[in-house]
Structure 1
């Protein structure tokens, strides 16, 4: 039977080597999320630092939380905040030129990148103008596929604040792009900028 995250976290206090299982289990997800925001080079460093930080403060982990994944993304979000200027610069470059190395990491094929850029340019411009808190909430929702509760735990804010931040971000993105939803095309197909929203979360 595979040990749960909570069991591994507790066990790692006496057996530090057990933490390696958590790294193997969650590092790829953290890396993908950071790479979408800052590019692959920064993702390597931030992913490593996220888990080093998590290991150092693992005794503070509250086993009553929804899971280790939001906690780890919360640590990563704080580290990403240190690169805020680089992220905004990359988003503005994408909005201005339609080309950016970070944008290329979002999709694999050249055809997909062309399609993505046609939608991503206005979205990138709008996302660059969001406050840091709103951007964290939006991208955890859109790119990490987090529920409201998971976002609240990751960012250490009330669920009501998550709803407010997402609603504000949606309004701004909808105004900037003209899409019926900030995450979907008018046809209901997922926009290249972000995956389809989880069922029920747009209610």
Structure 2
């Protein structure tokens, strides 16, 4: 299939669409019936250029979702490449019952979940092997390095938040990441994960509650004789940073509409 071959070459090259820009995704990608849907139909009809364009335009958001799911830049790239191969191989089966972005992010989320399961099994095997040989137990999970593209000014806060996301269950994390990072509505998350709307709301609420408590604890940390080292405020964050979805609602400024629960 020419479109598939073209996209596979694109995935292998991983050229200019690897950038982690922070586009406002709630408005950047049209839904069904718009330009994206037209591109998808052209791609399914054999237009190789349309096929490469549609997958290239979604690379950034897929990478960000995978990054939030796995906590690792390298793992995120592996996950997205794996997801793209699956999506390309099943592209003709996409039936337009949901938005293309929803369909694609469902595949990315599933690929990330599978990756986390494999990583957990590998960690358990390495720990068991170390214990059996009499060596020290070590955490085989990759470290969560500072990602300079994320609009948080404090590296410690970024690492702690990534760790907090890692403490959520895979199902809760998946729902929250699609909502906060991908800018999906509750209904879109429901379609992407194929779960009831009420379940989506419950998972996002649970994620917010846990992550918010961690942020508030960090915000209260004050070293002896000095100012707190991890300030958390609207000024600390970029306009589209997903962490804005879990900050305490002050009733002032752009954060208010994010916390209407």
- Could you say whether these structures have the same fold, taking a TM-score greater than 0.5 normalized by the shorter chain as the test? yes
Match of 2:73 in 1: 40
Matched, 1:14 2:45: yes
8 Å contact kept, 1:30–1:73:
yes
For structure 1, the 5+ residue unaligned runs are 90-99, 180-184
**Residue 181 (structure 2) aligns with:** 143
Runs of 4+ in 1 over 6 A off after TM superposition: none
TM-score with structure 1 setting the length? 0.71
Equivalent in the alignment of 1:196 = 244
| d(CA) in 1 for partners of 2:258, 2:196 | 16
CA spacing shift, 1:45–1:122, aligned 2, 3 Å = closer
- Contact residue 70 and residue 153 of structure 1 kept, 8 A: yes
Q: RMSD between aligned alpha carbons? A: 3.3
Alignment deviations for residues 100-134 of structure 1 (CA, whole Å, 9 cap, x no partner): 753412x349x93xx131x3455344322221110
Q: Aligned to 1:63, what secondary structure does the other structure show?
A: coil
What is the Cα deviation at residue 142 of structure 1?
2.2
Larger gyration radius, structure 1 or structure 2: 2
Alignment match, 1:81: 113
1:14-163 paired onto structure 2 within 5 Å: 14-15=45-46, 17=48, 18-36=50-68, 37-65=70-98, 67-84=99-116, 86=119, 101-105=143-147, 107-108=148-149, 112=153, 115-117=154-156, 119-163=157-201
TM-score (norm 2): 0.57
